[in-house]
Structure 1
Amino acid sequence: MKLWIPSTLLTASLLILSGCGTSPKPEDIVVIDTTLPIVELTQNGIITDMNAIAFEWKNIQDPRVNGIYVYKKSPSYEGQSSLVHTDTIEGRFKTHYVDSNVEPDTKYSYMFKTFTQDSQSEQSQIVSVNSLPVLQSVAWIHSITGMPRTAKLIWRPHINEKVKEYIVERKTLEEETWSKLSVVKGRLNAEFIDDELNDNYVYMYRLRAVTFDGIISTPSQIVKVITKALPKSIENIKTTINLPKRIQINWDESTTKDFKLYYLYRSESVDGSYELIATLHNNIFIDKIEEDGRSYFYRVSAVDKDDLESEHEKNSIAGMTLPKPLAPAIVEAQLLGSKIELKWSKTDSRSKTFVIRKKHKKGWFDETQEEFEGIVGNTFIDTNILPDSTYRYMVYSLDENKIKSEASVEVKIVTPESTEIQKAPIKKVKDEVVSEYIPEPVAASKEEAKDIISVPEELDLSGL
């Protein structure tokens, strides 16, 4: 008689050849008929798997036989000391039975009896069978470490053709239990990439193989991955506070081996929103700014070839453009005959030259304005003076970079209405340098007005 088909086809057989229902059941009072045939297994009549055990016996020719009772002893049956009925095979023509209620690597005992409507045969030989151990996982697995926020696993495909997929499990050093991360479909697929990971962090992985009939293998060897660390933070960032219309930022060069470039950020406040203003290969940058005394906060980071960026949020450095010089302080403003004389004091050592702004108003609406530049002394004499007029003066200082200060206090002088203004000679007082503006001659007044003003705020001489 032809016996077992090749073992590679066993899986299909297990599904087809399972025993049918559990009726009829053996009677409580057993009537043994010694003339009934006894179930006899074939020479290779037992095949084991992890979750199933299959039996094959010789043909039963006796037409009295209605079927076969299956008896089983299992470690999972608490208190069981002998074999108990677990299944019934109806019909005498069946020669195969598969028990699929089996745990891996477990020992079971079996015995069979043929039965008629009123009796049973003697029991068959009791056979002890051990199910196969749990499927082992892949034989070789390897991890690729040092990748940016990514881990890569590769393994050798499982040799068991019943494997349909792999379960990837992951655990960190802080976690106590493994968690199911993903499922890789297909026995021949042998790669998995885990992304969006933390920087410079340790992850552990293992693999389980899964068969078509749901058997899950033991875990594979554990492999460890350490993700790539961020580039080292930039150190020794320096900014300037004394350059005109610009701020220079420089820092120590990055020591990151695969350095690519620097990111430079700027904000108006130390805790404000930082904007990326430059990507650089050099460790110096000049931020051109048109405002004087304008301050900004800067941060610098290093970026590697994998676009990983160093930490920079905790290192903000303030810089500022050169501020305006201090405004001069007017100490005297006086009408001397046909001229107005201004004197001021230099309040900032940066001041090199001065600018006078003159406003002239005659009547209600007519007003003119002019400036006098390049004044190097601290006295200004204006001889272009008309009667019945209002004059206002402000003084500015300029440094060597032509940065102009804010205006000084404005002084106001009102000339007499119908008197003639006498033109008086201009003299040098000691060694003072005198700047003079000489207008066209005007009619001399009969009386000479002379006023000396020394006021820290706006000067109003309208009552003269």
Structure 2
Amino acid sequence: MKQSSKRLFCGLFLSLTLLALSGCGSKNTSLSFLNPQDRLDPNLPTITKVRTIADVSSIAFEWDRVADPNAIKGFAIYQINANNNTKRVATIKNPYTTHFVLDSLLPETSYAFAIATLGADNAISQKSPALRVKTSYIDPIEKAFASSDYAKKIKLIWSPHPNPSITRYIIQRKNTSTKGTSTKNTGGEFVNIGTIKHRLLVEYFDENLADAQSYTYRIIAQDFSGNKSRPSPEIEGATRQKPKAITTLQASQNLAKKIQLSWEVVPDVARYEIYTSTSLDGNYKPLVQVNKNYYTHKVGKDSAVIFYKVRAIDDKDVASDLANGATKGATLPPPPTPKITKGTIQNSHALIEWEVINNARVKAYAVYRYEGRLGSPLRFSNTIKTTFIDKEMHKGKRYIYKVVSVDSEGNESLPSKEVELLLQ
């Protein structure tokens, strides 16, 4: 075939093809609307009017019923990309269908679609005009609050999302912070720090934070399909500065049956809490709370050894750290025990004598008399002498005598060895 005849044949063939695709002289159809496997049948009925309803991640399509459903086998739905290329996203093999829902879409995203009827051998009609639809969104949480009165943590609370399809909340925190100032507009990005898995549970604690720091948060609701709401308005919270730890604690070791505690005043605190342990590295338990910087612990025992720690608590119940070390307190041992040197009966009277105790703590002595082994003893009041005469003995009775030393506060020593006497 000559070259000129060949060019004429090719041009004629292309013209006839375009004429067939255009529907015999009607408005031309762009070839970019065709997938490689699709074949255009200009005789198939077309869809000219489509109505849509957009949800968060789905779009519903509705079109009028085809006048002659027997002329088609169904419908094909195409998605149109930014380059005007198409991809078939659904095939509906029912010529009577007038509705379809396309899901698994992205929220707040614009899409373009077209619909064609489907004929024999998968031929398609001319596509409908492009349908441009934007998916919807889930409203943000309306109200949220972040605390500023906790130490090393921030409490977030917010209003429950009114949408019953919400199943969880995603907590986000801006990843930068500035001491004592707001973190807004610092250029930090929000990162996920926690999840609350119930629509009605609207509380979250962000813990292990730095003292006296500000942090910015936002909250995102998520439904059962995984769709996320718009972020809540940014909220700012702050951690509180803890009171200064108490390191000046002093505890007495020279008092009988009690220990006196004292420490420096910590500014701006409401009270102090005292902790005790019987060993330096033991388990410290709270003893008492006081609003003064001193306390007298009435131990009630001699030779007791107790370790103490104190922490300060402000008016927001924020407590200082307990000191790493502890302060040792102790009570005095009992006064020295008297040693009886004589116990006899003279002139129908009991005579008890004991050695002088040369100890500044000993201020007096007391004698206990028991009538037999049972019953409570009589106590003969303090005396500075080292001799005791009992003139109230009765014949035939056994009497037992014990002597104790007494200090200035009335604390007694352990009793001396007993002396047993019988008046015959």
With the shorter chain as reference, the TM-score category is 0.5 to 0.7
Secondary structure, counterpart of 2:199 in structure 1: strand
Question: Superposed, which structure 2 residues align to 1:214-233 within 5 Å?
Answer: 215-217=227-229, 219-220=231-232, 223=235, 225-228=237-240, 231-233=243-245
The residue aligned with 2:335 is 325
2:195 counterpart (171, 177, 180): 180
Flag the 1:155–1:129 CA change in 2: closer, same or farther, 3 A.
farther
Separation in 1, partners of 2:379, 2:224? 95
The residue aligned with 2:168 is 167
- Asked if 1 retains the 8 angstrom alpha-carbon contact of 2:265 and 2:293, the reply is yes
TM-score (ref. length: structure 1): 0.54
Shift of 1:107: 4.5
- Asked if 1 retains the 8 angstrom alpha-carbon contact of 2:171 and 2:220, the reply is no
Relative to its length, the structure with more helix (as a share) is 2
- Asked if 2 retains the 8 angstrom alpha-carbon contact of 1:109 and 1:129, the reply is yes
TM-score (ref. length: structure 2): 0.58
Question: Superposed, which structure 2 residues align to 1:8-157 within 5 Å?
Answer: 32=41, 34=42, 36=43, 38-42=45-49, 45=51, 50-57=56-63, 60-62=66-68, 64-73=70-79, 83-84=87-88, 86-88=90-92, 90-91=94-95, 96-101=98-103, 103-104=105-106, 105=109, 107-113=111-117, 115=119, 123-125=125-127, 127-129=129-131, 131-132=133-134, 135=137, 138=140, 142-148=144-150, 151-154=155-158
Separation in 2, partners of 1:300, 1:85? 71
Question: Superposed, which structure 2 residues align to 1:314-463 within 5 Å?
Answer: 314=324, 316-327=326-337, 344=355, 346-354=357-365, 376=384, 397-406=405-414
Alignment of 1:248 with 2:260, yes or no, is yes
- Asked if 2 retains the 8 angstrom alpha-carbon contact of 1:293 and 1:323, the reply is yes
Flag the 1:213–1:89 CA change in 2: closer, same or farther, 3 A.
farther
Shift of 1:39: 1.0
Opposite residue 404 of structure 1, the aligned amino acid is: E
- Asked if 1 retains the 8 angstrom alpha-carbon contact of 2:257 and 2:300, the reply is yes
Separation in 2, partners of 1:153, 1:319? 45
Gaps of 5+ in 2: 1-36, 177-189, 371-376, 391-399
Shift of 1:199: 7.9
Opposite residue 98 of structure 1, the aligned amino acid is: F
* Root mean square deviation, CA, Å: 5.8
Separation in 2, partners of 1:226, 1:262? 24
Shift of 1:112: 0.8
- Asked if 2 retains the 8 angstrom alpha-carbon contact of 1:107 and 1:128, the reply is no
Opposite residue 167 of structure 1, the aligned amino acid is: R
The residue aligned with 1:206 is 218
Opposite residue 198 of structure 2, the aligned amino acid is: V
Shift of 1:60: 3.6
Shift of 1:138: 1.9
Flag the 1:295–1:121 CA change in 2: closer, same or farther, 3 A.
closer
Separation in 1, partners of 2:412, 2:128? 112
Flag the 1:130–1:272 CA change in 2: closer, same or farther, 3 A.
same
Gaps of 5+ in 1: 1-27, 76-80, 186-190, 360-368, 383-391, 413-464
Shift of 1:212: 8.4
Flag the 1:279–1:101 CA change in 2: closer, same or farther, 3 A.
closer
1:239 counterpart (214, 235, 251): 251
- Asked if 1 retains the 8 angstrom alpha-carbon contact of 2:382 and 2:406, the reply is no
Aligned residues: 358
Aligned residues: percent identity?
19
Q: Deviation string for 1:24-66 (max 9, x for gaps)?
A: xxxx99694x5x4531422x75565553345455554347524
Q: Deviation string for 1:198-243 (max 9, x for gaps)?
A: 6867877533345687633354565454455655544533333334
Opposite residue 407 of structure 2, the aligned amino acid is: D
